[in-house]
Amino acid sequence: MNNEFLYETHMHMFETCACAVSTAAEQVRAYKERGYTGIITTSHFLNGNCRRPVGKTWKEKMEWFYFGYQQAKKEGEKCGLDVFFGWEYSIRGSDFLTYGLDIDFLIANPSLYNLEIAEYSALVRMHGGYLAQAHPYRDDDYIEYKFPVDPQLIDGIEVYNSGRPSDINAKALVFAKKHNLPMQSGSDSHDCENLRFPSGVKLKKKAENIFDIIEAVKTNTAELVTY
């Protein structure tokens, strides 16, 4: 009997992400084939590399945004892969993986689009969400601030991103250890034909919900998976 359960913490889908190649269903099947127990969908939010629907109310935009996750969830139920909802929030090029909140939170907060990190962090945490900075130290031209934020503003940090060079991941690991931040790993997959495996976190017990994954990361009982 399997006593280790593998979860993806960072991935994208064509339905909602302008930079993604593979559909939600294609991604789900690829993860299932590679032995994953579950995934957290983290589509770029509307202030990131999202497909940005136009001519819709805020509620309609959030329902559209949620649709990618719903497609992944539907395919996961068919093939036996657990699918949890999250998103990747962008602030001037820096990205923050957000877990533990739902579409009701999104619909109820139309100001979400324009928040700076301190405001966003406070709002997410006030509603019981979890916030981790993704791939800190990434050095792309469009990123205004190429370093981790104040560690008091985040709950965790991605110390291994399989789409990033090893020196960037190494810097993130040093920062996490210095500030005693919970650590996580993810593939940042956009294309199921070019999946960077293995990556993610391994749990000793199957997650019943996304909060089980969050708790494992926060208590350092989740094993970081790298290659």
Gap between the Cα atoms of 225 and 200, Å rounded: 5
Determine the distance from the C-alpha atom of residue 78 to the mean position of all C-alpha atoms in its chain, rounded to a whole number.
23
Q: Do the Cβ atoms of 37 and 5 come closer than 8 Å?
A: yes
Q: What is the pTM of this model?
A: 0.94
Provide the residue range defining the domain that includes 125.
Answer: 5-225
Per residue in 205-226, pLDDT (tens digit) is: 999 999 999 999 999 999 999 8
Residue with tokens 């539907």: 74
CATH number at residue 72: 3.20.20.140
Gap between the Cα atoms of 212 and 99, Å rounded: 11
Per residue in 10-39, pLDDT (tens digit) is: 999 999 998 888 999 999 999 999 999 999
Per residue in 127-176, pLDDT (tens digit) is: 999 999 999 988 777 777 778 999 999 999 999 998 887 889 999 999 99
Report the number of distinct structural domains present in the chain: 1
Gap between the Cα atoms of 151 and 173, Å rounded: 13
Residue with tokens 């700076």: 116
**Which has the higher per-residue pLDDT, 47 or 129?**
129
1 has a pLDDT exceeding 70:
no
Amino acid sitting at position 72: A
Give whole-number Cα distances, 33 to 27, 69, 77, 99, 188, in Å: 10, 19, 14, 25, 18
- 3-state SS class at 20: coil
pLDDT at 93: 85
CA angle 190, 138, 147 (to 5 degrees): 135
Residue with tokens 């509603």: 127
Q: Do the Cβ atoms of 133 and 95 come closer than 8 Å?
A: yes
Residue in 90, 119, 123, 91 with CA at minimum distance from that of residue 106: 123
Q: Do the Cβ atoms of 118 and 154 come closer than 8 Å?
A: no
Provide the CB-side half-sphere exposure for 98 (13 A, CA). Answer: 29
Count CB-CB contacts under 10 A for residue 202. 18
Q: For residue 85, what are its two tokens?
A: 């909802």
Q: Do the Cβ atoms of 84 and 39 come closer than 8 Å?
A: yes
Provide the 8-state DSSP code for 151: G
pLDDT at 164: 84
